[in-house]
């Protein structure tokens, strides 16, 4: 289990992908079937796929990393390039943002579950 102090300083990547209309189910299937390419990297802490509630055919992929150098190592790996190629046919456009977690404050539901 990750403590709150351990979350601070993690490196986070946010990818926004607009998927070609009508290809959403196939995209989700391919994404689910290829997550090991990302989560199998020793610096990866986890990955999430979310579908926008506000924008048609738009997904957000979030991944957390131990640190930026670990992510950058993955980013230039053959595994990443192959993973990106598998997802590319579904994507019409997107954006990519990186950040460092500076604070995490758990909500009541999270603290009540502990």
Strands 58-65 and 91-100: unpaired
Report residue 97: phi and psi, to 5°.
Answer: -135, 145
The pTM for the full model equals: 0.87
pLDDT for 1 equals: 47
Tens of pLDDT along the chain (114 residues) come to 455 556 788 999 999 999 999 999 999 999 999 999 999 999 999 999 999 999 999 999 999 999 999 999 999 999 999 999 999 999 999 999 999 999 988 898 876 766
The Cα 48–Cα 22 span in angstroms is 22
pLDDT for 84 equals: 92
Fill in the DSSP letter of residue 67.
-
Q: CA nearest 21: which of 90, 85, 88, 86?
A: 90
């Amino acid at each position: 289990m990750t403590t709150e102090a351990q979350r601070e300083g993690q490196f986070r990547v946010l990818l926004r992908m607009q998927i070609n209309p009508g290809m959403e189910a196939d995209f989700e299937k391919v994404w689910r079937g290829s997550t090991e390419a990302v989560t199998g990297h020793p610096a990866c802490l986890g990955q999430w796929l979310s579908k926008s509630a506000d924008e048609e055919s738009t997904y957000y992929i979030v991944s957390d990393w131990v640190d930026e150098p670990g992510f950058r190592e993955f980013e230039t790996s053959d595994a990443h390039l192959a993973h990106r190629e598998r997802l590319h046919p579904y994507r019409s456009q997107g954006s990519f943002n990186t950040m460092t977690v500076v604070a995490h404050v758990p909500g009541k539901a999270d603290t009540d579950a502990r």
